[in-house]
Each structure stands twice: as structure tokens, then as C-alpha cells.
Structure 1
Amino acid sequence: MKVVASLGSLLLAAALLFGSNGMHSTLLGVRGTIEGFAGAEIALLMTAYFGGFILGCRFVPRFIRQVGHIRVFTALASVASAAAISHALFVESWFWIITRIATGFCFAGLQMIIESWINDRATNENRGQVLSVYRIVDFTSATFFQALLPVFNPESFVPFGVLTILISFALVPVALTRIEAPKVPKSAKLDLKRLWTVSPLAAAGAALIGLSASSYWAMGPIFVSGLGYPAETTGLFVGALIFGGALAQWPLGWVSDKTDRRYVIIGLASLAVVLAFLVPTIAAVSQTTLILAGLMFGAVSVPSFGLTIAHANDHAEPGTSVAVNGGLLLLYGSAATIGPIVASQLMGLFGSNFLYYWIAIIHIALVVFGLLRLRQRAAPETREDYVPVLRTQPGMFELDPRRDPEEDRPDIPQPEDAVAGERV
């Protein structure tokens, strides 16, 4: 684990960024609810973030080529820090939407840089270990900072000031690192034709999971508030979602490596349907059952995107994993810009509990589509290993131990039809 020790500064920066970003999203939902923002306005905050995220995936690599990793990281961290504090200075929904676009752009770039840096230091022999440590940092920081949210009064300036400090501190270990700058990351291009050729189920699954995940992350504060709980409870509920997903990643991944992965995807989606219908009832009993509901639903929903990535990699040509995975990521992000808007409209018409009924509908669609594909195609003879995923960032796919080393060679042409066998 010598390489992990050498990456300590980058892992510290990642922990501060992951934790602060997750806390930021939840805080805005809580504060927006307190300020009387309409559900549609709060939904647009998440939509704006993913819009900026997609733009960051597209344009940040170009900036890195022009001025280098550290300068771009410094610039993006400065903008993200300023955006965090500005929410407390000017409490208007239209202004927050603009700053969320900037935040999404910045964090796509910041995490892309860190993950590419970590990938550059890893080798094919230790890549799996490095990714495991990185995922632990991810899960731990995301859960811890969500649980920390109730400590602060969301109506005050303090939590926004804390976010600004955390993002600023994340800049320090990267700016002072002695690790040599990595190769310039590739932008993840969305190629719908290629994704559908590789696996219709993975492509459809990524979009449906993006719809679902963005809905419960964005509208969670309104759901919790609608049940009559204080605003501070939202952080505990969101933290439970993340922690439940973290606990389930490894056992579900192990099961999916031993059987047809489509069975696991369909089974999880089926459980998500059942739990989504039950969550409003369970969560309404007490704060303890609210957290329990979040834990259970996170366990069956959060790992799904990682399973679709693994399923796509089972059928992709060697040397195309970064392109295929990056395309799935952008398909997820594109669908995520729509989910909160639809959810907010439904909640406005039918009540806050309809958030989870909307999520159930999405997972029903995934179950139906999965069953149709299961009847049409057989499972592949060989499969790639499952890799746990919580955060959806482009640089993470270059760290993926399933990645073919040949992908790093610029003289190797990438096949247009990334398919090894039949479509599934």
C-alpha cells in the first residue's frame, strides 16, 4: 500500500471535495424549503448542477491542455468556493440556479483532475487496491458530512461559511503536492449509437437510474419536510441513503460476478419498486424509521449504476471501456437534468409522498425492459469484475481496474462498433 500512502494529499483533497459537495446539495434543498422556494425551483437546482456537470466533462480537458492541472484546479476551486458562500449572500432562486451551474462545472473538473492524478500513479497490479481505498474515502466523507449537517442552523450564514472553508482547504494539498502532473484526461463523449450497440439494457438503465437518483437527491428535503420533520433531519436521511448504498456495493457486486448480471439488476429494481411504495409509510412513523427507510432504499438503489457499468463492460470491446463508461456517465447526467423537474411537478400535484411513487414507476420501467432483454439474449460467456461506484465522475473510469492498458496508447485506434457479441 505504498502507493496509497504517496497519494495521501490527493485523497485528503478528494474527501474534502466529496463531503462538502454532498453537504452543499442537501443544504440548498433544506434552506430553499425554509425560504419558501417552490418545488420546481428546488428541482432546478439539481438540474442546473447536472447541466454544469455535463459542460465540465466537455470543456475542462481543453483547459487542462492549455494551462495544466494545478492551475485549472486552483481556478475551479476558487470559483466553487465563491459560489458556495454566495448562496448565503444573495438568497434568490434564479441566482442559486446560476451558481449551481457553475458549481457543477467546477466539481466535474475538480474531481476529474484528482481521479486522473490518482489513476496516473496506480499500476495494473495495484489499481484495484487503490480504487478500493478511494471508494472508502468517498463513502466515508459523503456519509460523515451529511450527518454533520444537523449541527448547523441552515438559516444562518455558518454552514455556507464552513463549505467555503472546506473547498478552500481542498485546494491546499493539491497545490502543494510533489506528485508529477498526470496525462490530460479525455472528455467522455456521449455516443448513443455505440452505447445501444454494446448493451441496450445498460444504456436504458443508466438513463432510468439517472432519473431516479436525481429525483431523490434533489427532492429529499421536500419529502422529509412534508412528513413533518425538522429541516436538520434531512442530512441524516440523505446520509442513510449513501451509507446503505455503500454497505450493499460489495455483496451485490460479488453476487453479480457469480451469475447473470441482468438478474441482479432486475432483482434490485424490483426491490426498489416495493421499497419505494413502502418508504412514505415507514418514514412517517419516527425519525428512527425515517433513517431506516433511507438505509434500506439506498441499499437497493445506489449500487444500480455500478451494475449497469459492469454489464456494459461485459460486452464492450477491449480498449473501449473509458469511452463506453464515459458515455454511460453522460447519459446518466443528461437524464438527471430531467428527473427533479418531473418529480417536483408530480409532488406539487399529488403531495410530497409522490416522490417515491414516481421513483417506483421509473424502476418498474427498468424491470419491464430488463425482462424483455432477458428473453431476447443469452448471458455472455465471460464477464468483467464488478467495481463499486458511488460518485459518477469521468476520471473515475480511467482508474477502473477493468480498463485495458491499451487505452492509454494514442496510436491504438478505437473501434467504432464497441461490441463483443450480441446486444443485451
Structure 2
Amino acid sequence: MVKSILPLAALLLGSAFLVFAGGVNGLILPVRGDVEGFTATSLGLLGTGWALGFIAGCLRTPKLVARVGHIRAFGAMCALASIAVLLSLVLITPWVWVPVRALSGFCFAGAAMIVESWLNERTDAASRGRIFGIYTMVNLTATTAGQMVLTLGDARGFFFFVLAAMVYCLALLPTAISATSTPKPLTQVSLNLRGLWKNSPIAVFAILMVGVSNASFGTLAAVYASRIGFSIDQIALFASVPILAGAASQIPVGITSDKYDRRVVLIVIAAIALVADALFLFSGATHPMIILALSALFGATVFAMYPVIVAHANDHAEPGAFIQVSGGLLLVFGIGSIFGPTLAGYVMTSFGASYLFAVTGAAHVLLILFAVLRLKLRPSVPAEDKVAFQAQPLARGSTPETAALAGDATELDSEQAADDTTETSGSDSAR
């Protein structure tokens, strides 16, 4: 196990720096923006900007890498991400922060795709599951650490902006001095909505609603916590606890969804999430321990939905279509992430901070209703025909290369066999 990890240490370290900086930047912006008096609508637009940039990065980075190479492209992404953070410090206005946040999303997606492409190249089918698990845990730990570091200082100063910029630059070093060979071209996916809908209508609709819900919470959770009187330490906990709870819940949810109809499992999860939405919205609770407990319940449900939906879509997909289906659903999730934060920000500005959970609750209600309808229209997939459930990192940080890295061994083996056959045919022709 150690022998398989050591050659990838530089890539994992670079990814950890990248995600740590993203965690700092993603939390300091809404917290500082709220201190500066930005409206919730303006802060919601930060999430919209991020989603637009992230989708653009997923679509454009493969062409950029093909033109200039992996190392140069990765260096450019990290440098631009660092500049974006510093611009947010120098020019504190929503008119600058929103487009700069889009630039950050573009750079983050591009850099993550390049790291994952390297990992994918250096990982064989036998160790792929373990490496993907380690990669996911490294990113989860780094994200949490980046958010929790905000407990060490004052959000009104410059420290956290400079720290994020410095760590983005640090992410350059492991790959720049690594002897790891340059990988193959990056995975490209297209958004084929008709094909995705034909494959699984519930997957498309549900992933869109999850994008609305999760991006709204991910962007504006810190604003909600600030406006109910939380300290910076409590805000950092409120942002981190749901992520940890979501990671922990994926294993039992995955086991359950492999045994039962995934649509039923999804309905149950969404119903529990709806309970959390209602308690946030109507209970009037403000005690930190109660709010943190509710955030854990919320995170354990909403962050477990994405992998269940991806697994259900792949249950109906043709063999060998895992990457295209998963990558296409990721882009649909991104579309939901564009609209969700802006809508939630407007609702919070108009009605109050707790109405963030009116938006997430509406998304969960629509998801449940559509899932119930689909239960009546399409039979369940037999257990023996299901693909194996795979835990997934947070969808907002996933790229098409994540789907390639998480691809099942059967699909990857078949691709390798096809490559070997092509190479053999070429050799025979040469003879």
C-alpha cells in the first residue's frame, strides 16, 4: 500500500494545498462580505460566479492543457487563483468579487482536473479504489482545515486573504519539482441533456435540485450563521460539520442503496433533509449546539444524495458509459449551482436569514414529488444488475476527471484492452 502511495505523494500534497486554499477563500468571502454590509443577494452571486467559472473550467481546461501542457497549465491556474484572492482583498466590492469568484472557480476546476488526470495515469485498476479513497480523504481533511483556520484570527483583516494566496502558490511546488511523468490528455465530456434524460429522468431532475440546494447552503451558510449571532469560531464549525457528517453518512447510505431501490433511498434521504429544513426555518432555535446538531443532520442527508443519484443513473447506463454519465450529471449539478445561490440570496435579503432553508426545502420537496412519480412509471433495477455504489467527494469540487479516477475497474479494464488491441493491430500492420 505504501509503495503505491509514495510515488503519488507530490500530487496528493499539491491537491491538499489547493483544496486548503479553496476552503479558506470559500469561507472568508461570505464572512467578510457580511461584515462589510453586502446584501445576501450579492453574496449569493458569489456562488453563481463560482459555478459559472467552475463549469467553464471543466469544459475549457482540456483544450488548454493540450496546447501548453499539464505543468504550465497547472502553474497558470494556481497563479491566477492567487491573484484572484488578492484582488478580493484590494477591491472590496461585489462588482469585483463576483467576477473574481468566477475566475477562482475556473482556476480551481482546471487545477483539480490536472491533478486528477495525473493520479488517474499513475493508478492501476487494482489500486484505483484505495487511491481514490485516499485522495477523497486528503481533500476532505484539507477543506475542513481550511475552513477551521478562520478560528485563528479576525475576518476583518488581511491575514486570511494573504494566507489563501500563499497556499495557492505552495500548490505549485510539488508538481513543479516532481519527476512524475506527464499524463495523457484530460477527459472531456459534453452536456447531452437529451441522452441523460433518456437514460434516467430522475437523475437529471434530482441532480439539478441537489445543485440548487447544496450550492445555496455552501455559499450562504456562513451568512446565515453570522446573522443569527454566531462568532467566527462557530461559523467555521457550522460550515465544516455538515461536510464531515456528509462524508460519514455515505457509507451506510451506499450500503442501503445497493440493497434497495435507490429512488426510495433518495426519497427517504430528501425527506430527512426536509425535516432539517423545516426545523431551521420554523423552530427559531439559536443555541449553538442545537444549530450545529441540525447542520450535522442537514449535511448527512444533502451531501449523501449526489452519489446515490450518480449510482442510479449508471444502473441504467450502457456498459462503458460511466465517465460520460457521471461527467454529464456533474455539469447538470453545475447548472443548479448557478441558480440556487442567487435565488437563495434574494430570498434571504427579502425575508430574513432563515429563509435560506425555504429555498433548500423547496428543492427537496420538488425532488421527492418527482421521485415518487418516477417510482410509478419505471420498475426498479434488480440488485444483481446494479453498479457498485461509490462514495464521492463534494460535488462542487468534482470534475470530469474525478469521474475518470472513480471509474469502475471493469470499465477501465475494457478501455485498456481496447487500447492494447489497437496497439497490437498497429504493430501487426507495421510488420
Give the aligned partner of residue 426 of structure 2. none
Give the aligned partner of residue 175 of structure 2. 174
- Taking structure 1 as reference, are residues 304 and 275 closer, same or farther at Cα in structure 2, changes over 3 Å only? same
Cα-to-partner distance string for 1:147-195 (whole Å, 9 max, x where unaligned): 2212121110100111011111111001111111111112221110111
2:319 and 2:231 map into 1 onto residues whose CA distance is 51
Give the aligned partner of residue 90 of structure 2. 89
Counterpart check, 1:396 vs 2:402:
yes
More divergent stretch after superposition (162-171 vs 400-409): 400-409
Cα-to-partner distance string for 1:79-125 (whole Å, 9 max, x where unaligned): 00111122111111111111111111101100000111111111111
Give the aligned partner of residue 378 of structure 2. 377
2:233 and 2:90 map into 1 onto residues whose CA distance is 21
Whether the aligned pair in 2 keeps the contact of 1:188 and 1:330 (CA below 8 Å) is no
Give the aligned partner of residue 279 of structure 1. 280
Displacement of 1:334 in angstroms is 1.2
- Taking structure 1 as reference, are residues 67 and 170 closer, same or farther at Cα in structure 2, changes over 3 Å only? same
Q: Equivalent residue of 2:161, what SS?
A: helix
RMSD: 1.7
Large movers: runs of 4+ above 3 Å: 280-285, 406-412
Counterpart check, 1:255 vs 2:256:
yes
Give the aligned partner of residue 219 of structure 1. 220
More divergent stretch after superposition (206-215 vs 80-89): 80-89
2:341 and 2:290 map into 1 onto residues whose CA distance is 25
- Residue identity matched to 1:386: F
Displacement of 1:5 in angstroms is 2.1
TM-score between both structures, scaled by the size of structure 1: 0.94
Give the aligned partner of residue 421 of structure 1. none
1:368 and 1:411 map into 2 onto residues whose CA distance is 47
Trace 1:40-59 onto structure 2 (pairs within 5 A): 40-59=41-60
Whether the aligned pair in 2 keeps the contact of 1:39 and 1:348 (CA below 8 Å) is yes
2:197 and 2:117 map into 1 onto residues whose CA distance is 27
- Taking structure 1 as reference, are residues 24 and 282 closer, same or farther at Cα in structure 2, changes over 3 Å only? farther
Trace 1:15-164 onto structure 2 (pairs within 5 A): 15-164=16-165
Give the aligned partner of residue 429 of structure 2. none
Whether the aligned pair in 2 keeps the contact of 1:312 and 1:324 (CA below 8 Å) is yes
Displacement of 1:280 in angstroms is 4.6
1:215 and 1:52 map into 2 onto residues whose CA distance is 16
Counterpart check, 1:351 vs 2:349:
no
Cα-to-partner distance string for 1:207-242 (whole Å, 9 max, x where unaligned): 000000111111112211221223443221010111
1:189 and 1:361 map into 2 onto residues whose CA distance is 29
Cα-to-partner distance string for 1:228-274 (whole Å, 9 max, x where unaligned): 22344322101011111111111111111122111111110011111
Displacement of 1:289 in angstroms is 2.2
1:362 and 1:407 map into 2 onto residues whose CA distance is 38
More divergent stretch after superposition (132-141 vs 329-338): 132-141
2:223 and 2:284 map into 1 onto residues whose CA distance is 13
Displacement of 1:374 in angstroms is 1.0
More divergent stretch after superposition (180-189 vs 236-245): 180-189
Whether the aligned pair in 1 keeps the contact of 2:228 and 2:286 (CA below 8 Å) is no
1:283 and 1:108 map into 2 onto residues whose CA distance is 38
- Stretches of structure 2 that go unaligned for 5 or more consecutive residues are 422-431
Whether the aligned pair in 2 keeps the contact of 1:221 and 1:231 (CA below 8 Å) is no
Whether the aligned pair in 1 keeps the contact of 2:322 and 2:407 (CA below 8 Å) is no
More divergent stretch after superposition (391-400 vs 102-111): 391-400
**Aligned-residue identity in percent:** 33
Displacement of 1:410 in angstroms is 7.4
Q: Equivalent residue of 1:353, what SS?
A: helix
- Residue identity matched to 1:394: P
Cα-to-partner distance string for 1:3-48 (whole Å, 9 max, x where unaligned): 2222111111111111221221111000000001111111111100
Q: Equivalent residue of 1:302, what SS?
A: helix
- Residue identity matched to 2:401: G
